[in-house]
């Protein structure tokens, strides 16, 4: 099976690019960030502090998180309930970063992610795909952009959804999440030694998509691999 690991900080465009290219290549898209967001939301809904293992871990036994693929795209289910449209808020984003630092949470999701990669050609994005989840991925890319650029993209996305969070607050959240993700003790955000660095600061989505598509195809060809 072929696998593309696309890692990078929040707001770098990983999900949009991975989803688009997965469809174009005929791969299964796995949005690992959505899984952590789902757990973060579940903890918030139950009045638990998402950064406190003593409060989070006991609830994992009563939690089921699934990725469901339908005609309208990937859906995220928590105990059978579709929460796809509820996990992109600033509060859930912060909670996702906190729960992702808890080893038991990462172990909880690890087998699900690995199983998908064993059964399908996958395009998987996250923070530690190339370093922890799929260390033998066929292609590894570390996608990034300046904090200001990523905050601007997130700000515009929130506006389209009717969320009027000020840009300055979005930027503070992005910078804080960068720090939290890269300084956590469990599977911190970092570039794999064999991952290719791609900085999309100032680029349009279309330009970034073209760059990534060409880069992935080039890497597959170098390894003697072909798309299905």
Q: Where are the domains of the chain?
A: 3-220
Percent of the chain with pLDDT over 70: 100
The pLDDT tens digits of the residues spanning 186-198 come to: 888 899 999 999 9
Nearest to 39 by CA among 78, 9, 71: 78
Res 121: pLDDT: 93
The pLDDT tens digits of the residues spanning 81-108 come to: 999 999 988 899 899 989 988 999 999 9
Q: What is the mean pLDDT of residues 46-71?
A: 92
Res 72: pLDDT: 76
Res 137: pLDDT: 96
The pLDDT tens digits of the residues spanning 143-164 come to: 999 999 999 999 998 899 898 8
Q: What topology is assigned to 3-220 in CATH?
A: Rossmann fold (3.40.50)
The pLDDT tens digits of the residues spanning 172-182 come to: 999 998 998 88
Token pair, residue 198, equals 């791609």
Look at the chain and count its residues: 228
Res 11: pLDDT: 87
Q: How far is CA 104 from the centre of its chain?
A: 18
Instruction: Please say if the pLDDT value at position 122 is more than 80.
Output: yes
**What confidence tier does 228 reach under pLDDT thresholds 50, 70, 90?**
confident
Res 56: pLDDT: 98
Q: How far is CA 94 from the centre of its chain?
A: 13
**What confidence tier does 226 reach under pLDDT thresholds 50, 70, 90?**
confident
Q: What is the mean pLDDT of residues 8-25?
A: 92
DSSP E strand boundaries for the chain: 3-7, 28-31, 65-70, 73-78, 81-82, 122-126, 139-144, 196-199
Instruction: Output the CA torsion 227→218→211→68 (10° steps).
Output: 30
The pLDDT tens digits of the residues spanning 24-52 come to: 998 989 888 889 999 999 999 999 999 99
Mean pLDDT score of the chain, rounded to an integer? 92
Percent of the chain with pLDDT over 90: 70
């Amino acid at each position: 099976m072929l696998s593309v690991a696309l890692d990078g900080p929040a707001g770098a465009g990983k999900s949009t690019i991975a989803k688009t290219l997965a469809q174009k290549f005929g791969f299964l898209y796995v949005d690992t960030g959505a899984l952590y967001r789902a757990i973060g939301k579940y903890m918030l809904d139950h009045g638990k502090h998402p950064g406190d293992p003593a409060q989070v871990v006991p609830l994992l036994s009563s939690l089921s998180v699934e990725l469901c693929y339908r005609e309208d795209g990937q859906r995220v289910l928590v105990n059978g309930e579709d929460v796809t449209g509820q996990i992109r808020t600033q509060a859930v984003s912060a909670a996702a970063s906190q729960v992702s630092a808890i080893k038991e949470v990462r172990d909880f999701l690890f087998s699900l992610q690995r199983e998908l990669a064993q059964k399908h050609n996958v395009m998987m994005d996250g923070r530690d795909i190339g370093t922890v989840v799929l260390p033998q991925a066929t292609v590894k890319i570390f996608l990034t952009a300046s904090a200001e650029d990523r905050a601007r993209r997130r700000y515009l996305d929130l506006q389209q959804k009717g969320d009027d969070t000020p840009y300055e607050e979005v930027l503070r959240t992005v910078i804080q999440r960068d720090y939290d993700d890269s300084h956590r003790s469990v599977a911190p955000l970092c570039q794999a030694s064999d991952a290719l660095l791609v900085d999309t600061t100032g680029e349009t989505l279309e330009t970034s998509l073209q760059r990534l598509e060409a880069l992935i195809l080039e890497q597959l060809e170098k390894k003697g691999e072909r798309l299905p």
